[in-house]
Amino acid sequence: MAVMGRNEQKSPLSRSIDSDVGLPWVDGGGDVIGWEASERVRECGSFESRQRVLVAEPVVEASEAGARTLGVTYWQAVDRFTRGGVRASWTGGGGKLKLLGAATLLVFGPPELSFDGGLVSCRHSIEGGLLALRASGSVTLAQRPEGDQQELSVTVEGYLPRLAARADAPPWTGLLYAKGQSPFHAAVSRRYFGLLLRSPDS
Amino acid sequence: MNVTVFGATGVVGRALVPLLAAHELTAVSRTAREEPGARWVAADVAEGDGVAAALEGADAVYYLVHSLGARDFEQQDRAAAERVAREAAKAGVRQIVYLGGLGADDPDASPHLRSRRETGERLASTDVPVTIMRAAMIVGKGSAAFETILALVKRLPVMVTPSWVSTPTQPIALDDVARYLAGICGNEAAYGRGFDAGGPEVMTYRQMIERIAALLGRKPAIVEVPVLTPYLSSLWLNLVTPVSASVARPLVEGLRNPTIAREERIRRLLPLELTPFDEAVRQALA
């Protein structure tokens, strides 16, 4: 659910998406408790979005391999969702999300893997690209305990999308983000959860 | 223990056999041979000839064979695995050890990787506990995938590559695979379980090409193109590498799937010091 905090301003684009809607393609095991997605704009203009599902058991183990699996599966979801049209290309210093192998949509830092206590996560800083106004923010793929369940999440924080409406600009200037990039991101997250939950260890 | 190794003359089998010297070893190959250190038996898992004799008295069995390169390799591998599983059950075998492929459990796995998974499933179709070790590219002399990359690096100053060069993988040294395989022989903690055996580093195929090239003192230009089908890639590999198109195509198709370890159970069960990638390449080139 989208919750507006004290330091956040309501934007024409702020909204919650598909709260508590089940994932039809992972219903079979009955393990998925719910799907939630939210998005908000902070006072500084940066975007924060979060998608999550709850599952009965951990889908990756708490180890470097488990944390890396979260990241690799996410980029695999991007590839699968776009039928190879958008793919991540990695070097030692980070990665680029490329459209048709050419246009660099986003530039990411190398994966920062964490597996401390119950939290398993893979974080990439956002360092530029056509879809970023400037280097700012991160995307984090995580698994963490929530009660007697596990939460799988995709969290984007501090991101400044080039396609979003600027402060004081008419809302229609942000349509490409609101109707294109934002739903695309949410759909990729759904695909990502689906891939994770279909995996053999889940 | 009495141990039977199917595929004893293959790349992995040759590295494994010396590590099983403490056991009563039966080494199986398609043609009869006499070499010290083992009882050699000729058997053909595709036809079934000699399989029962090779399994006589065996406690543990290694299954290291595949039909990659054959037109109907998927069907052949399934049938052969079923046959060996059936005969192993009859012979009272206590453990079958199978070397499968990382990424094979991906629902969209390539036919080659899918075949590796199905082979494991067929081997597990009886009551005999199966231990499956899954590995990505094996870095060692004679490994088809490694030799393919090596030939590309050696022969091409400029490489036009499909998008699979950005796929992450976790190559592992041949010696490390052999040590893991030897370590799970008769290890009851490994009965009926699967293990991901990744190397110490994760890299893309592009990074792998660049690392091998650097070790060879080369610096090939790599041009990534979004559209290059596995069929065209395999024809190209057939032209410029020693690997035939029938082997190259399933391998190339498999390169689209990430092949990384999802868990580290094998490292906890057998805490070996793994060979760094550059060192593994040096050993393979020696």
Strand-pair partners of A40? A48
Mutate to test the interface with A, among B166, B253, B255 (most CBs of A within 10 A): B166
A chain contacts of residue B198, beta-carbon cutoff 8 Å: 65
**Contact B48/A at CB under 8 A:** no
Percentage of residues in chain B having pLDDT higher than 90: 50
pLDDT in tens, B144-202: 888 888 888 887 777 777 767 788 899 999 999 999 999 999 999 999 999 999 999 99
Q: Which residue of B196, B226, B262 is in closest CB contact with A101? A: B226
Whether residue B218 has pLDDT greater than 90: no
pLDDT of residue B233: 64
Q: Determine whether B80 is exposed, middle or buried from the number of CB atoms within 10 Å of its CB (0-12, 13-18, 19+).
A: buried
Query: Of residues A15 and B40, which shows the higher confidence score?
Result: B40
Q: Which residue of A65, A90, A91 is in closest CB contact with B262? A: A65
Q: How far does A167 lie from chain B, in Å, by closest CA?
A: 37
Q: Which residue of A89, A102, A201 is in closest CB contact with B263? A: A201
What is the rounded distance in angstroms from the CA atom of residue B172 to the CA atom of residue B243?
A: 20
Give me chain B's average pLDDT, please.
Answer: 86
Q: Which residue of B107, B163, B265 is in closest CB contact with A87? A: B163
**Contact B163/A at CB under 8 A:** yes
Single pTM value for the model: 0.81
pLDDT of residue B226: 66
Listed in sequence order, the residues at least 6 apart from A140 whose beta carbon sits closer than 8 Å to its beta carbon are A121, A122, A123, A124, A153, A154, A155, A156, A157
Q: Are A190 and A35 in contact (CB under 8 A)?
A: yes
pLDDT in tens, B64-100: 988 766 667 778 888 899 999 999 999 999 999 999 8
Task: Assign B243 a pLDDT band (cuts: 50, 70, 90).
Answer: low
Whether residue A19 has pLDDT greater than 60: no
pLDDT of residue B237: 67
With the C-alpha atoms ordered B192, B193, B198, B202, is the resulting torsion angle positive or negative?
positive
Whether residue B260 and residue A68 make contact (CB cut-off 8 A), yes or no, is yes
B chain contacts of residue A102, beta-carbon cutoff 8 Å: 226
Whether residue A89 and residue B166 make contact (CB cut-off 8 A), yes or no, is yes
Quick one: how many helices (H) and strands (E) in chain A? 3, 10
**Contact A7/B at CB under 8 A:** no
pLDDT of residue B55: 92
* The two three-digit tokens of residue A59, written as one number: 């889908």
A chain contacts of residue B163, beta-carbon cutoff 8 Å: 84, 87, 101
Q: Which residue of B163, B258, B265 is in closest CB contact with A76? A: B258
Q: Is the ipTM of this complex over 0.85?
A: no
Whether residue B262 and residue A199 make contact (CB cut-off 8 A), yes or no, is yes
Give the β-pairing of B138-139 and B172-173: parallel
Whether residue B111 has pLDDT greater than 70: yes
pLDDT in tens, A24-81: 333 333 345 678 888 888 877 788 889 999 998 899 999 999 999 999 999 988 988 8
Cα separations in angstroms, A49 against A21, A159, B25, B115, B204: 17, 9, 59, 40, 29
**Contact A173/B at CB under 8 A:** no
Q: How far does A174 lie from chain B, in Å, by closest CA?
A: 30
Strand-pair partners of B195? B133
- What angle, rounded to 10 degrees, do the helices at B144-155 and B205-215 form? 60
Whether residue B206 and residue A88 make contact (CB cut-off 8 A), yes or no, is no
What is the rounded distance in angstroms from the CA atom of residue B37 to the CA atom of residue B102?
A: 31
* The two three-digit tokens of residue B7, written as one number: 């595929």
- Chain A and chain B share a number of CB contacts under 8 A equal to 59
**Contact B202/A at CB under 8 A:** yes
Mutate to test the interface with A, among B134, B172, B262, B277 (most CBs of A within 10 A): B262
pLDDT in tens, A149-183: 899 999 999 888 877 767 777 777 777 777 778 88
Q: How far does B28 lie from chain A, in Å, by closest CA?
A: 32
pLDDT in tens, A91-137: 777 888 888 877 898 999 999 999 988 899 999 999 998 888 888 89
Task: Assign B253 a pLDDT band (cuts: 50, 70, 90).
Answer: low
- What is the distance between the terminal CA atoms of chain B, rounded to a whole angstrom? 34
Mean pLDDT of B93-119: 83
pLDDT in tens, A178-187: 777 888 888 8
pLDDT of residue A41: 81
B chain contacts of residue A80, beta-carbon cutoff 8 Å: 108
Whether residue B264 and residue A61 make contact (CB cut-off 8 A), yes or no, is yes
Nearest Cα to Cα of residue A201 among B263, B159, B176: B263
pLDDT of residue B235: 66
Q: Which residue of A61, A88, A199 is in closest CB contact with B105? A: A199
Q: Which residue of A65, A90, A200 is in closest CB contact with B261? A: A65
Whether residue B166 and residue A80 make contact (CB cut-off 8 A), yes or no, is no
Whether residue A65 and residue B206 make contact (CB cut-off 8 A), yes or no, is no
What is the rounded distance in angstroms from the CA atom of residue B97 to the CA atom of residue B201?
A: 25
DSSP state, residue A181: I
